[in-house]
Amino acid sequence: MNGIGVCGSLLLLARRAYHDGCVYRAPLSRLSGTPRVRVALDTTQNDKPAFLVEVDGGELDDRKLHVVLGTGPLGLAVARQLTTTAAQVRVVNRAGRADVADSVEVVAANVAEVADAKKACAGAAVVYHCANPPYAKWPELHRPLMASIVEGAAAIGATLVFGDNLYGYGPVAGPLTEDLPSRARGPNGRVRAEIAEDLLRAHRAGRVRVAIGRGSDFFGPHAHLSTVGDGVFARAIAGKPAQVLGNADLPHTVTYIDDFARALVTLGERDEALGQVWHVPNAPTVSLRRFVEMVFQAAGHPPRLRRLPGWMLAPAALFSPTLRAVREQRYQRERPWVVDSSKFERAFGQRGTPLPDAIAATVGWFRQHTSSKAPRQGQS
């Protein structure tokens, strides 16, 4: 980029800094080489301030900045997907450390605080909300977290893409489609419905541009704590019986985490996605028993399955808030749970990765990481 382009970009940031009363650090980090930059405020004019920008050398990186909030399995998958594009990528969590490519910026922030959310989102074109409070604390923490993230994205004018789940629908009869009402009965399901509605309300009010992508129980890299995570993949690799809740012979849609991530990135790129809920693409639905058989086949062991009836959760849930939250969703394993993702597939031409391919990739990842310590429940 020539000097005029650099000056124009810096002038825009200077104006933003003056208006917001803060300093924007990201644009200077986007200057390659060893430029000499000076931005000064000219107050000699009484009617309005003028910004004086001097640049000598260096070029401005014009790639759009994509910010991923949360580094759980979905956030990491979104970051991986973004690194295959020409985007600049920043991931944000409380620790300031993440298992990401060297090209990805890692920022420590508590995005439940508005000031931190604004700093985390600064300079972003697209923000991906993949952060979660601890599972047992969803009812009290999810809505304040969403409100803070909306403020952060709105302050910079970024598109906000939310990686959601299906809990808000509650028990359903028949395939799950995006136009189903929210009829969740338990506190975790109700709060998921509420934060999605909060987000869509902010979009309708013109505060922030929003798209919501919803996935089912997911599997893939880093998905240790999913119901089809360690209890299926890690145990299959070790030759131990897989553990599944409920009726393993009912059809149950599962989502490959990389398909989920690819879909969220698509939603962030396409204006026609805005203001809507989308079910991310999934492979054709099979029963959990058949899914387990495919995992064991990929792992090179004969299939072994241990079914855990839902009633077994009841006594343990008396002493564990997390298990109480898990028990709330037991209806998903007591009836067919088939997710219709045809709306997304028709609109954007993407389909779910075939299960044999997705399972083989996941088995390969778990083989390499079986000795790694799984993250804590609710890590984001």
Buried b / exposed e across 294-322, counting CB within 10 Å, b at 16+?
bbbbbbeeebebebeebeebeeebeeeeb
pLDDT at 328: 83
pLDDT at 370: 78
pLDDT at 255: 98
pTM confidence score: 0.82
Q: Which residues touch 7 (CB under 8 Å, ≥6 apart)?
A: 53, 55
Low-confidence stretches of the chain (pLDDT < 70) are 1-62, 309-325, 371-380
Structure tokens at 179: 């136009």
Nearest to 162 by CA among 103, 208, 120, 118: 208
Spatial separation of the C-alpha atoms in residues 213 and 228, rounded to whole Å = 20
Give 327-348 pLDDT, tens digit per residue: 788 889 899 999 999 999 999 9
Domain limits, CATH 3.40.50.720, in the chain: 65-369
pLDDT at 308: 75
Which class for 70: exposed (0-12), middle (13-18), buried (19 or more C-beta within 10 A)? buried
Please answer whether residues 291 and 228 qualify as being in contact, where contact means their C-beta atoms are separated by less than 8 angstroms. yes
pLDDT at 243: 93
pLDDT at 298: 98
| CA dist list (Å): 289 to 245, 298, 334 | 11, 14, 14
What topology does CATH give the domain 65-369? Answer: Rossmann fold (3.40.50)
pLDDT at 316: 54
Cα-to-chain-centroid distance, residue 46: 47
